Structure 1
């Protein structure tokens, strides 16, 4: 099995030069892992790992500009030119005490090195000279069948390094693999072990699932394996959470959310995918049936924004990411009012920092429910009218103008300045003199109220 892929980046050429030097010094050296797998699948090779019989000190001697990044595990980072390569000594791992790292390693043979790895498709060695693939674990046949199978005992592999639980789902989704029955069963049995993994590592694997074209299948696998229940337990309540059929003929909140993932166009931002996942996370808590028998979720946007923030902070996302997702969840219901908004308020709404994402979220929300795109089309039309001018004019009033009239900084500032910007956008005043008069009149009327 083999597929020739043009090495447009030059990474394989640089990796080959590193491997040649190791071989010239009398050592074994092979390409290993994802680069071999992806080349055989006909996919671009983005990084190359090299496994060698050379001990770390020998690698450091052969490549004076390299540095040890995991010397206790036999790993040296070697610069090749534009790219850097992990060069790892063949090893066999000791006991894994923390579910992520072995307590020690023993330098070993190429075969022993392969047999301690995670999945058979990642356990292939490639001769950098001949291109021959050496397969000790049946990875070629699994690659041909597009099947992901753990090397050896799957439960042992997952207990050794529990991040492999998520990595298995990620590889299945991003590379189009099915999961071999024994590997899938072990993954389901041990899903609870993902709690041993640092949140930052968890969200890195989730990010790669969410940013792939198979994100919908990824969500299904995460739910069915039990991993989603360990990572975002709040999400489980979406299954079976009924919705009013006149607005949501597709079914429960989970079905709606799952459909939305597949309706996102192009290459959506990570914050948009998370906003889709969490935009209705507040519905189970807000579920009510009114006196007419209709299901309602009053306030689910506000409750959802709070929950979204809690979930993303727990997963150790950046402050900017949390704020971006929370803002989208908090504002997603405002689209129902766009056709009744004053023009200035609509322009203020459309000027939001993440409005392109919010509009994409709204589109998917509509298409995954009753299919009505009237509000979406209306907003697109309004944006088209403003394509040659800023959505909002440059503000004529600043906070210092409010302070000059005796107002103290606080929440009122934002409301007053937003109100002024709406009036300015609607043409109530067009220069600073008119803006200051409007402000003076506003403060006077507010003080008399």
Structure 2
């Protein structure tokens, strides 16, 4: 089998071979090629030591000498070249205390997590697959290399990686591998928030995020990833607008929002506050008054813990908090105030979330979808018109008001708010002379 490799990779393999060293492309890139996916990057493994690799190529960066990795720069990019190795004893359920460089490719492949990641390729020697990864690709199976319990005890992050690969590739996890994941998942307690966040992001941005999130819940792994969401599973809503538990509805919404990380995070958290705000009336109907506020608070707590950037956190909080906004709003002053609170940059995300939220409910209606899109159109019309929406948009400022003889700063703020209220109703009045005249009337009211 001939795999079309980048020129830089072929150059590295040729140079290694010319100087008496083995070299193979290995791991996820070969897996992706065999599946039919374009690889994002290429990794090379070799019998050459890091020092030998650095001596062979003009420009190298010793990015991970402790683990045998050297970054080799070529004309068409930089590639990681790592020496064959065996891992020593693992610590903290994540990293080997030490590595032992070896000259045996199979031993290097043996230390890897999943069989489909333990495949190597060399243009002259072809596919090297001692753990039958190509067969598992054919049968769409995720299977641990060797003893699955040992693999997951060595590095608990491999548990989330298996879920992520199962989600993104739409593969099933082999039974013994699945059992080992459940048996060893306590090790996830020792994994850093950043690592968990990255695997969660990959699951959420896949073509079928609901599959991955459901798997985390069903296996009990979610209690180590997002324990704050565990109460959603099995929580019946007792409401005619919902025919699923909170988790089931959430997964429906997650399925129908676009692959934008803040929007998918908002979909995941939008009803997370329902279990803690649940009440039932005398007719046996369930209500969740204020759940959007509680859901926002949960999202904030979780995203801060997982160290998301502040921009993402703010957007997710905003979308979650406003997801219950009535789309029947037609009063332009109210719409303008809403735009200011929401932020025009969040409009499309909110509409995507509201449409998915509606689709996830049992009562399907084209009228409701029309209402949501009409709501979007009304807001976009106001934004495109360029109407003043905030005090900053007024034709006067605090200094102009102070020049009228006002001394108290608080009074200045009150007058500016009064001017904004006037302009929200009549945008054409946003001229300095008109506003100053109105301000004088406010002063002597």
TM-score greater than 0.5 by the shorter chain: yes
Question: 1:396-449 deviations in whole A, cap 9, x for unaligned?
Answer: 154556777455479x96x9867754542431623123334445556766xxxx
Give 1:326's aligned residue: 317
Give 2:435's aligned residue: 435
- Secondary structure at 1:358's aligned position in 2? helix
CA distance in 2, matches of 1:141, 1:296: 51
Structure 1 contact 30–126 (Cα < 8 Å) conserved:
yes
CA distance in 2, matches of 1:224, 1:385: 45
Give 2:369's aligned residue: 373
Structure 1 contact 344–421 (Cα < 8 Å) conserved:
no
Q: Scaled by the length of structure 1, what TM-score is found?
A: 0.89
Structure 2 contact 168–206 (Cα < 8 Å) conserved:
yes
Give 1:271's aligned residue: 262
Deviation at 1:349, TM superposition (A): 2.3
Question: 1:213-234 deviations in whole A, cap 9, x for unaligned?
Answer: 1111111111112221111111
CA distance in 2, matches of 1:418, 1:140: 68
Describe how 1:45-56 pairs up with structure 2 within 5 A: 45-56=39-50
Give 1:299's aligned residue: 290
Deviation at 1:51, TM superposition (A): 0.4
Give 2:213's aligned residue: 219
- Segments of structure 2 that go 5 or more residues without pairing to the other structure are none
Structure 1 contact 115–152 (Cα < 8 Å) conserved:
yes
Matched, 1:172 2:166: yes
Question: 1:299-358 deviations in whole A, cap 9, x for unaligned?
Answer: 111111111100100111111111111111111112x2x434520221342462311101
CA distance in 2, matches of 1:220, 1:278: 14
- Secondary structure at 1:354's aligned position in 2? helix
Provide closer, same or farther for how the CA distance between residues 386 and 341 of structure 1 changes in structure 2, counting only shifts above 3 A: closer
CA distance in 1, matches of 2:217, 2:105: 37
CA distance in 2, matches of 1:419, 1:358: 29
Give 1:256's aligned residue: 249
Question: 1:360-409 deviations in whole A, cap 9, x for unaligned?
Answer: 11111111123333540321331464585336567115455677745547
Provide closer, same or farther for how the CA distance between residues 17 and 388 of structure 1 changes in structure 2, counting only shifts above 3 A: same
Structure 2 contact 238–284 (Cα < 8 Å) conserved:
no
CA distance in 2, matches of 1:129, 1:100: 35
Provide closer, same or farther for how the CA distance between residues 306 and 417 of structure 1 changes in structure 2, counting only shifts above 3 A: farther
- Of the candidates 73, 86, 94, which is equivalent to residue 88 of structure 2? 94
> Number of aligned pairs?
431
Deviation at 1:116, TM superposition (A): 0.5
Question: 1:280-314 deviations in whole A, cap 9, x for unaligned?
Answer: 11111110112443211111111111111001001
Matched, 1:41 2:4: no
Structure 2 contact 329–375 (Cα < 8 Å) conserved:
no
Give 1:342's aligned residue: 331
CA distance in 2, matches of 1:31, 1:409: 68
Give 2:148's aligned residue: 154
Question: 1:42-90 deviations in whole A, cap 9, x for unaligned?
Answer: 1102210000000000001112310111111111111122321110000
Describe how 1:354-365 pairs up with structure 2 within 5 A: 354-365=346-357
Give 2:176's aligned residue: 182
Aligned Cα RMSD in Å?
2.6
CA distance in 2, matches of 1:417, 1:367: 42
- Secondary structure at 2:44's aligned position in 1? strand
CA distance in 2, matches of 1:229, 1:21: 49
- Secondary structure at 2:214's aligned position in 1? helix
Provide closer, same or farther for how the CA distance between residues 357 and 242 of structure 1 changes in structure 2, counting only shifts above 3 A: same
- Segments of structure 1 that go 5 or more residues without pairing to the other structure are none
CA distance in 2, matches of 1:182, 1:240: 27
Structure 1 contact 350–391 (Cα < 8 Å) conserved:
no
Provide closer, same or farther for how the CA distance between residues 240 and 400 of structure 1 changes in structure 2, counting only shifts above 3 A: farther
CA distance in 2, matches of 1:173, 1:82: 32
Provide closer, same or farther for how the CA distance between residues 97 and 423 of structure 1 changes in structure 2, counting only shifts above 3 A: same
Give 1:312's aligned residue: 303
Provide closer, same or farther for how the CA distance between residues 434 and 13 of structure 1 changes in structure 2, counting only shifts above 3 A: same
